[in-house]
Amino acid sequence: MKIKETPLSGCFVLSPNVFEDERGYFYESFNERVFGSKTGLSIRFVQDNQSKSSRGVLRGLHFQKGVFAQAKLVRVVKGKVLDVCVDLRKESRTFGESFSVILDSINHEQFYVPRGFAHGFLVLEDDTIFSYKCDNFYNKESESGIIYNDKELNIDWIFPKEEMIISEKDSMLPTFKDLLDEF
Ligand SMILES: Cc1cn([C@H]2C[C@H](O)[C@@H](COP(=O)(O)OP(=O)(O)O[C@H]3O[C@@H](C)C(=O)[C@@H](O)[C@H]3O)O2)c(=O)[nH]c1=O
């Protein structure tokens, strides 16, 4: 597995070793020992999630508050996404900055998003299946998020607004500025 650092400290892009043969391919999608030795982190993932989405679906930007914060190891099983995270660590020199990466079922790349970040993704192909591991359980009461098109975050979502499908909940999320006291 190869690991690439990103401009946001603690966020990594991971490329697994993929073994291809006449049957198809094989790769280890998660190996605790390899993950630990490559990242230097000792993470205990406790929940796996999977979602399917149509082209144009945007999910995010989400995070859980306080002790319910989650680190996520995300990947695409089928299809393609633009995956985005935003640094919400107030003490970080990249506070408020975002990082984007294309994840798809051809490059098999995975993205590690630590606690203290908001996360979201735009689906670029129909029937995209997105899968991720979390190091903390879902807690409805601590769910929070930032509006995807926040002016200050200024994220380039690639698609025009008319082509995006966003849940009612996500289209009513507050701005980055509104939440400044919560980070
Ligand atoms: C996230 C989550 C949702 N749910 C339920 C709540 C709701 O009824 C239904 C759909 O939830 P949502 O609309 O929040 O699903 P979704 O918009 O896919 O939420 C996800 O978005 C991406 C960007 C993330 O980073 C994830 O952490 C998560 O927040 O599933 C769970 O039961 N467990 C979970 O862990």
Q: Token match 């499908």: residue?
A: 165
Task: Show the tokens assigned to 113.
Answer: 């998003």
Mutate to test the pocket of ligand 1, among 45, 58, 59, 84 (most ligand atoms within 8 A of CB): 59
132 included as an active-site residue: yes
Ligand 1 centroid distance, CA of 49 (Å): 8
Mutate to test the pocket of ligand 1, among 47, 49, 171 (most ligand atoms within 8 A of CB): 49
56: domain range? 45-182
Establish whether residue 51 lines the binding site of ligand 1, counting it when its CB lies within 6 angstroms of any ligand atom.
Answer: yes
In a domain, residue 16? The reply is no
Closest to 152 measured CA to CA, from 92, 89, 87: 87
Structural domains counted in the chain? 1
Active-site residue identified among 108, 112, 132, 148: 132
In a domain, residue 23? The reply is no
Distances (CA, A) of 149 to 10, 145, 146: 24, 12, 9
Per-residue pLDDT of the chain (183 residues; tens, 9 = 90+): 999 999 999 999 999 999 999 999 999 999 999 999 999 999 999 999 999 999 999 999 999 999 999 999 999 999 999 999 999 999 999 999 999 999 999 999 999 999 999 999 999 999 999 999 999 999 999 999 999 999 999 999 999 999 999 999 999 999 999 999 888
In a domain, residue 39? The reply is no
pLDDT given at position 93? 97
Global pTM value = 0.97
ipTM: 0.98
CATH of the domain at 158: 2.60.120.10
CB distance 126 to 79 below 8 Å = yes
In a domain, residue 165? The reply is yes
